[in-house]
Amino acid sequence: MITKFQVAYKNLQRKRIRSLLTLIGIALSAWVLVSLLGFNQGYENALNKDIDNMGFELMIMAKGCPYEAATMMLKGGTGLKYINESIMEEIAKEPEVDKAFPMLMSAVFDPNKGESGGIAGYFGVEARSFAELKPSLKFKQGKWFTDTNAYEVVMGYEAAELEQREVGDMILMPEKNVEFKVVGVLERTGTQDDGTIFVPLKTLQKIFGRPDELTTIGIKLKKGVDSARLEEKLYKLPDVQVVSLAQVKDTIMKLISTAKVMVLSIAIIAILIAMVGVINTILMSVHERFQEIGILKTIGAMPWDIFKLIWIETLILCAIGGVLGIGLALILSKVTGILIRYVMPYAPSGGLVLIDLKLVLITLAAVLGIGLLSGLYPAWKAGRIRPLEAIRSEVGR
Amino acid sequence: MNQNNISIEAINLKKVYLRGSEQIPAVNDVSLRINQGDFISIIGPSGSGKTTLINLLGFLDNPTSGELRLGERSIFNHAKPLSERELTKIRREIYGYIFQNFYLIPTLTVMENVMLPLTFYRKQGTENEAAKLLKLLGMDHRKDHLPGEISGGEMQRVAIARAMVNMPEILLADEPTGNLDTKRSGEIVQVLKELNRNIGLTIIMVTHNPELARCAKRMFEMRDGKICQIACGPQDSYFNDASAGLP
């Protein structure tokens, strides 16, 4: 007994190159689709992870102060505004607050950085509290500075690579002409910490002439508390703004949404092109087999049988193409991630393309659905072929 | 086979084609009765209407007027055309077809081609029919070959096996030897004769070759849409000594 599936499958082998090209078209569009959907969920995941890694949920800074380190770097520290350290005590009293961490960001112009100089950022922290805040930070060499007044630095992985410094080396802060001793080099984290030079808070305050002043206070909340009341209260403090990292995330996601719409449009166009390709292939195949289909009807095939036969052909193409495309996407997800990182204005660390089983199944269902849709017209057309007309015709002779 | 004892009868059958405003009667008032177990051949020049007639008799087309009777059933009475679905139902129940161009599916093996009709419709008792037929037609050693790997005569044998696999009552053969040389033509007609003689298969054959037509029990000629019987009883001394036929 020979099944309709076997007949359909063998027929696709008749014009191997044509079937293969159609298959490639479907595979490519499935690849684009699954990669982009994977990017949609991967990006958000990676961003969440980045924000979790920051270790705090709320930031407090002076009104009008840029809260993005990138912005600060671009402006060269000119946009920085300061808050008084005394505010720390008030904040620590609040019942929702687990811990508060003082931070001071500073930047100087380094004429030796890059071709025409650049901005070097310094991050003043209290070693003990900062280590508590970021337990994920690991040392490649050395350890945190112990004295908050010491002239010592801990360098992020990339900063140390760039400056070619190891533990025990000295490093000069340009503009201020102050020398520091490198006491620690961090391992790579994939976050902006990699490019940062950490300095004891008091030392940095002294060098920049801003005693008792901070740029940022990070607030870590107690587990499971609602931050709404606290945020409201903090808003009432004079000249202070509160930024929740959830807000930061929202802002980034909004920026990204435009890019998402673009990539999704590309995916839809890719799928439409593949769909037209499938319709064309199957229609041509039906046209070439006009007589043969007529003969199938004389030997007992009902219109619905022919419809199914042609539909199965479309489904086989789409199923194989879909599986190939998804396989390709899984294999190349890292490469896709790198490409996306290259074109995106901001990309969080970690894998940007996250393809899980659910996504694989959704994509496969989508490709098969599109296949069924593309097969409708050719299958309907084939089902309507009248045996007599087919036998009389000259097509295929 | 053929327990139903189906005869086919055409009464004042007419098929008119329109060419512009002109009416062309391809089959003009044909009345004909073919009994179960009969073997008739129809000859005639091109355009005489013989293929149109066999298409009507084989339910591949609706007549313009007249009546067709299959056994006791009256079909096309009062010129009510049947839908493609109804035609297919009758065809797969009663008919087998072979054509000049064989129309085997090139991607399927000989065996698969023969079994193809069973994919769409299967009568009871046809389980081993494909293998039996291939053996009967001397094609069992070729069952795993593709149509492109066998000769024209062999292809027509496969087409005959395919037509026979659902145990039809009537076999319609439209120019079955049109693409074959004289020797192979003789072999195919011999196969048809033996099927008719041994299992009582009703055969209606259209051919332009009078020599082959004489192998049938009755021979008709079509001219300008009209039919007349020109011979009765096998006239085929030409093939009697042929070594061809069933192995």
Residues A86, A262: Cα–Cα separation, whole Å: 47
Q: Which of B223, B231, B226 is nearest to B46 (CA)?
A: B223
pLDDT over 90 for what percent of chain A?
A: 17
* Average predicted confidence (pLDDT) for chain A: 83
Q: Do A388 and B120 touch (CB under 8 A)?
A: no
Of B88, B101, B162, the CB nearest to A302: B88
Q: pLDDT tens digit string along A1-54?
A: 788 999 999 888 888 898 899 899 899 989 888 888 888 888 888 888 777 777
Contacts of A2 in chain B (CB under 8 A): 108, 112, 115-116, 118-119
pLDDT tens digits, B87-118? 888 888 899 999 888 889 999 999 999 999 99
Min Cα–Cα distance to chain B from A30, Å:
29
Q: What per-residue confidence (pLDDT) applies to B238?
A: 42
B121 lies within 8 A of chain A by CB: yes
More confident residue, A252 or A70: A252
Predicted confidence at residue A397, as pLDDT, reads 40
Q: What's the CA gap between A83 and A91, in Å, rounded? A: 13
pLDDT at residue B240 above 70?
A: no
A326-350 average pLDDT score = 79
* Among A2, A13, A295, beta carbon nearest to B115: A2
Contacts of B115 in chain A (CB under 8 A): 1-2
Instruction: Give B236's pLDDT tier (boundaries 50, 70, 90).
Output: low
Kindly determine whether residue A10 and residue B108, on different chains, have CB atoms separated by under 8 Å. yes
More confident residue, A106 or A70: A106
pLDDT of residue B172: 93
Kind of pairing between the strands at B202-206 and B170-174: parallel
Note the pLDDT of residue B244. Answer: 42
B240, B211 contact by CB (below 8 A): no
Is B160 or A55 the better-scoring residue by pLDDT? B160
What's the confidence (pLDDT) of residue B239? 44
Instruction: Check CB contact of B115 with chain A, cutoff 8 Å.
Output: yes
B59 at the A interface (CB within 8 A)? no
Report domain extents, chain A: 4-49+252-392, 64-238
With bands split at pLDDT 50, 70 and 90, how would you rate the model's confidence at A309? very high
Per-residue pLDDT reduced to its tens digit, B214-225: 889 999 999 888
pTM of the complete model beyond 0.90: no
For A45-54, A136-145, A149-158, B237-246, which range has the lowest pLDDT when averaged over its residues? B237-246
Tell me which chain B residue has its CA closest to the CA of residue A9.
B107
On the question of pLDDT at B19 being above 70, the answer is yes
| Residue B146 at interface with chain A, using a CB cutoff of 8 Å | no
* SS3 call for A50: helix
Q: Which residue of B has its CA nearest to A394?
A: B101
List the alpha helices (DSSP H) in B77-128. Answer: 84-94, 110-120
